[in-house]
Amino acid sequence: MNGVLIRSVVVWCGLLVVAIVNGAAREGFLTPRWGEHTAHALSTITLSASIVLVAWFSIGWLDPRSPRDAWKIGGGWVALTLAFEFLAGHYLFGHPWSRLLADYNVLAGRIWPLVPITTLLAPVLSARARL
């Protein structure tokens, strides 16, 4: 699993770059044209689709040896994502905790929880489909 762990962190770093580019596109292109709520929803969908694509194309290199390994990859990606989102979001970018947590309020029409769910499931489903 050590090789898989290292490769999964490398792929997650690629996902981080994809997420940053996605966020920049949201702020620079989508939000000015369609407003914050619609832009956020579109950005969530495009990021989730990107995560699936990255998982699909990298699963052969990640080479999980079992479904359990694929679940560990997804769980690790979610843990890294949430740690980055909340720790960097608060301490590096200065966002208040309330703003960070607001993205998870599905009762307010936020669909952001789709991203961590996709992040968890993408390696599992990709590995299953590739076997």
pLDDT at residue number 4: 85
Q: What percent of the chain has pLDDT over 90?
A: 94
Distance, in Å, from the CA atom of 120 to the CA atom of 112, rounded to the nearest integer, reads 14
Q: Which of 87, 112, 120, 119 is nearest to 23 (CA)?
A: 112
Q: What is d(CA 62, CA 122) in angstroms, rounded to the nearest whole number? A: 13
pLDDT interval class at 130 (50, 70, 90)? confident
> Considering the entire predicted model, what is its pTM?
0.93
Task: Convert the pLDDT of each residue in 5-63 to its tens digit.
Answer: 899 999 999 999 999 999 999 999 999 999 999 999 999 999 999 999 999 999 999 99
- pLDDT confidence of residue 2: 80
Helix residue ranges per DSSP H, the chain: 2-25, 31-34, 36-62, 67-83, 97-102, 114-130
Rg of the chain taking only CA atoms, in angstroms:
15
Rounded to an integer, what distance in angstroms lies between the CA atom of residue 102 and that of residue 130? 36
For position 1, what pLDDT does the model report?
Answer: 55
Neighbours of 115 (CB within 10 A): 23
